[in-house]
Amino acid sequence: MAQKEHRTIKITLPGGQKVEAVAWNTTPYQLAKQISSTLADTAVAAQVNGETYDLERPLETDSDLRFLTFDSTEGKAVFWHSSTHVLGAAAEQLLGAVLCRGPSTECGFYHDFFLGKERTLRGSELPVLERICQELTAAAQPFRRLEVSQDQLRQLFKDNPFKLRLIEEKVTGPTATVYGCGMLVDLCRGPHLRHTGQIGGLKLLTNSSSVWRSPGAPETVQRVSGISFPTAKELKAWEEWREEAELRDHRRIGKEQELFFFHELSPGSCFFLPRGTRVYNALVTFIRAEYTRRGFSEVKTPTLFSTKLWKVSGHWEHYQEDMFALQPPGPQRDHPTSHPTDTLALKPMNCPAHCLMFAHRPRSWRELPLRLADFGVLHRAEASGSLGGLTRLRCFQQDDAHIFCAPDQLEAEIRGCLDFLRSVYAVLGFSFRLALSTRPSGFLGEPCLWDQAEQVLQRALEEFGEPWDLNPGDGAFYGPKIDVRLHDALGRPHQCGTIQLDFQLPLRFDLQYKGQAGALERPVLIHRAVLGSVERMLGVLAESCGGKWPLWLSPFQVVVIPVGPEQEAYAREAQQGLRAAGLVCDLDADSTLTLSRRVRRAQLANYNFQFVVGQREQSKKTVNIRTRDNRRLGERDLTEAVRRLLELQNSRVPDAEEIF
């Protein structure tokens, strides 16, 4: 009880004002009400000495206090995490569900729950589940935080094997917290809203199957995703925004423009049609040009490796469930008693192969930094429920590169990686936000080495000049990293690029080079990608531009339209000239449609330019040019028009139609 003595403590409010409070009695919500009723109504949680905190949880010691609203990233995370508890309570009430996990995401929340081995959630049940969620929010049920012992946890969740597994994996101390809300009690770190009534608008979006990984056989669970807001008005605005986003869905654009398709006979893989391949290759060509300019060497490595490689790299221990493994043909098929051959696995990443490439002969300090780039095909055993268009595939390629450098070259290489990111995203029309993710609890290696590496990354970020955030404890187990979130034309975030330091692979593969003094030294490894998955980036770009591709990426650069049959031969000549120059060009000589109908059809198909040729143009070897937005650029010499298009394509401008 001495620890909970009601003594006077000092609280520093936003803006620097200091006030007195009573330990174990005064709550952040009470202080918010003293500042303003508006703040008290809009705050969703507090930050107390940098820790996210329930508004109704009493303060314990002298504190620096900040308030989080829904407008902040941290505030949204709390709001949506509370919403998933509402969804869990509704699933228990309606379906008798066994709850698994329910996190917030960047764009809402989801809850996984188990209905039995034979039972799935039907789409027709989603509206009923949503109505119960809305009833629970209307009831303004308070969230209650309680600290319990491990024995109490196991007793609380004795009938839920999923929670028992989480307790075994996640609860390392003598106690943990649970949160109550109505009839629901759930294992959770929190924090949460004061009550469910703060959720003014909630909508359930999708239901699908997912896989719960466990030491035994994986279980199929049901996943329901949703979105919520403080007011019904904000939910309505989001629904209008979502309608616009659905019109831009890359799967819809891919089908309409005949870019790609999917087939049940190759689940999780994409078939790129000629037009889609044109966009794909333009992206890869762009990155290859940057590689040449920036001193990267492109390599090719095998797709299939013995699992011995993945055991050396550590991936077999940490990543085995996400890899495709197979037993090769061998003598054991005919002679079961013979010595078994190695199990093989399709590579899910390129880094171990690049380590083999570094180690295949002695290396000198003069070769460093060695920058190896690889567009090799990767395979990952994603659960069927998580597959979605181009955003998550089982078979894909990355603009994957690894930099082997000396420790004193590290900072310059990180600056080069950041500049690479900025240059590419500027051309693609994306803004972005960086975050430094530091040493996690289960890190490998020496703390002093981590500290030094984090300082190098921080200095590079500060010098880079772009805003960045700190994500303490969110680094990979093998090294700190810089996460990159780009934002598309609709403001949606996407995790694509990354820059990661790795201390472990050089150790695991015993990578060495001869230093200037003649002694063997250990290189530092940088993993980096800018586009990330080329397939995913193509999907992001399709949605961002709404299918109106910039000229340099466009599969619809030019269509030549003859006024009448008499000009068809000249139109074909113009088409051949454009194609010979390396441009994408089609011909619309459909004499059953009027000229204006064909021009309109080309504009609706998003051809960047229409070259109309009539009798005058045929006699003068010219073309009459219009854009997809119906700007009339007038008559131009055909040769000059081709030259200008090539100039605009090669400079990768976003607005070729405006500056032609």
Rounded to whole angstroms, the Cα distance separating 166 from 321 reads 18
**The one catalytic residue among 354, 481, 485, 628:** 481
> Catalytic annotation on 433?
no
- Residue (of 80, 10, 88, 78) closest to 49 by Cα position: 10
**The one catalytic residue among 400, 483, 488, 502:** 400
Rounded to whole angstroms, the Cα distance separating 103 from 188 reads 10
The residue written with tokens 């969804």 in the block is 87
How many CB atoms neighbour CB 147 within 10 A?
9
Rounded to whole angstroms, the Cα distance separating 497 from 482 reads 9
SS3 category, 88 = helix
In terms of DSSP H, where are the helices of 96-227? 126-138, 150-156, 161-170
SS3 category, 140 = coil
The encoded tokens of residue 14 equal: 């936003």
The residue written with tokens 């095909």 in the block is 377
**The one catalytic residue among 380, 439, 528, 626:** 380
Distance (Å) of CA 18 to CA 10, 25, 143: 7, 17, 29
Rounded to whole angstroms, the Cα distance separating 351 from 297 reads 15
Q: 229: part of which helix (H) or strand (E)?
A: strand 219-229
> Catalytic annotation on 557?
no
> Catalytic annotation on 351?
yes
> Catalytic annotation on 380?
yes
Give residues with Cβ within 8 angstroms of 591, minimum separation 6: 564, 565
Rounded to whole angstroms, the Cα distance separating 291 from 392 reads 26
CB 460 within 8 A of CB 434: no
Q: In one letter, which amino acid is 192?
A: H
How many CB atoms neighbour CB 397 within 10 A?
18
Which DSSP state fits 388? B
- Residue (of 360, 293, 397, 659) closest to 511 by Cα position: 360
Backbone angles phi, psi at 268, to 5 degrees: 80, 10
What residues does 494 pair with on adjacent strands?
A: 486
Rounded to whole angstroms, the Cα distance separating 2 from 650 reads 73
CB 67 within 8 A of CB 27: no
What residues does 147 pair with on adjacent strands?
A: 177
Distance (Å) of CA 63 to CA 1, 26, 55, 59, 472: 21, 12, 14, 8, 20
> Catalytic annotation on 400?
yes
Which DSSP state fits 660? -
CB 632 within 8 A of CB 626: yes
**The one catalytic residue among 250, 363, 371, 402:** 402
How many CB atoms neighbour CB 274 within 10 A?
10
Pairing of β 63-69 and β 8-12: parallel
DSSP output for 516-544: TTS-EEPPEEEEEEEEEEHHHHHHHHHHH
Give residues with Cβ within 8 angstroms of 426, minimum separation 6: none
What residues does 446 pair with on adjacent strands?
A: none
Rounded to whole angstroms, the Cα distance separating 350 from 117 reads 37
CB 558 within 8 A of CB 578: yes
**The one catalytic residue among 66, 85, 527, 598:** 527
Give residues with Cβ within 8 angstroms of 213, minimum separation 6: 321
**The one catalytic residue among 222, 398, 409, 575:** 398
Pairing of β 558-562 and β 585-587: parallel
**Could you list the active site residues?**
351, 380, 398, 400, 402, 481, 527
